[in-house]
Homo-oligomer: A and B are copies of this chain.
Amino acid sequence: MNGVTATLLISCPDRQGLVAKIANFIYSNGGNIIHADQHTDFSANLFLTRVEWQLEGFNLNREVIAPAFSAIAKPIDANWQLHFSDTVPRIAIWVSKQDHCLLDLLWRQKAKEIRAEIPLIISNHTKLQSIAEQFNIDFHHIPITKETKLEQEAKQLELLEKYQINLVVLAKYMQILSPEFVDRFSSIINIHHSFLPAFAGANPYQRAYDRGVKIIGATAHYVTADLDEGPIIEQDVVRVSHRDNAKDLIRKGKDLERMVLARAVRSHLQNRVLVYDNRTVVFA
């Protein structure tokens, strides 16, 4: 399967004929569907779907697809997004001092596992500046204190705008964003170093050690105003034993963190994630 595709992510109140309506829209315009997945949340009475089709041979020009589909979307009260596979999203990676998630994402981007441009790295420290240089990526050092936070967040927002960033990935950024920031820029994925909701907040590995758990985890989620409470995209775990001290948990956790974050970012970039009611559908 090659060629450019269009993808619709749609959620709307459940009712008869939704699959038909959407499929007909694509078929009647000459499109060939290559992926269609649908989920009904009966408790929320919500219909959620992802449809992807080949643009080659499609009778509508790109610019016309959205207006044409909105005629279908309105009567069914749908929230929807339209994406084209040749749009390359632009990511800003935010880090503090740890390099494992950053390097992992950069490697995956080079290996084409993640289809995106990464023109910007922001950090509250300078420790990882050399990595940015090595990969030829602009690096901005924006230290944060309680006093300067709002002011520095303004700078950060400016940078996101200047670099036309579509997605911020907090790759162990270790700073809390203000509700105001999240309100202004909402496409943010964070990796939390615990199996949420266990050990939300600071020092999860030490607390996991103190609790004597036999398994640790990592969680990738969208960032909302409530710390560590955003919609979960992906989680994974690894077994630990009494042999593992807090340092071992940190080491084992690093492998988890980069896997889980990478999977979440990849799903997001492939337009497979739909958010509703503080939860996600991740279409396979």
Contacts and interface: CB of A to CB of B under 8 A. Distances in A.
- Taken together, the copies of this chain in the complex come to 4
A31 to B, nearest CB: 7
B27 A212 contact: no
A119 interface: no
Interface in A213-230: 213-215, 217
Contact of A19 (B36, B214, B234, B278): B36
A30 B38 CA distance: 19
A39 interface: yes
Give the contact-size bracket for chain A.
Answer: 35 or more
Contact of A282 (B51, B234, B241): B241
Closest 5 CB pairs of A and B: A212-B279, A20-B27, A20-B23, A198-B198, A19-B23
Nearest to A277: B212
Interface of A: 1, 14-21, 23-24, 26-28, 30-43, 51, 99-100, 103, 107, 111, 113, 134, 195-199, 211-215, 217, 231-237, 239, 241-243, 245, 251, 254-255, 259, 277-282, 284
Contact of A38 (B33, B197, B233): B33
B243 A215 contact: no
Contact of A16 (B27, B38, B103, B232): B27
Nearest to A229: B211
A27 B33 contact: no
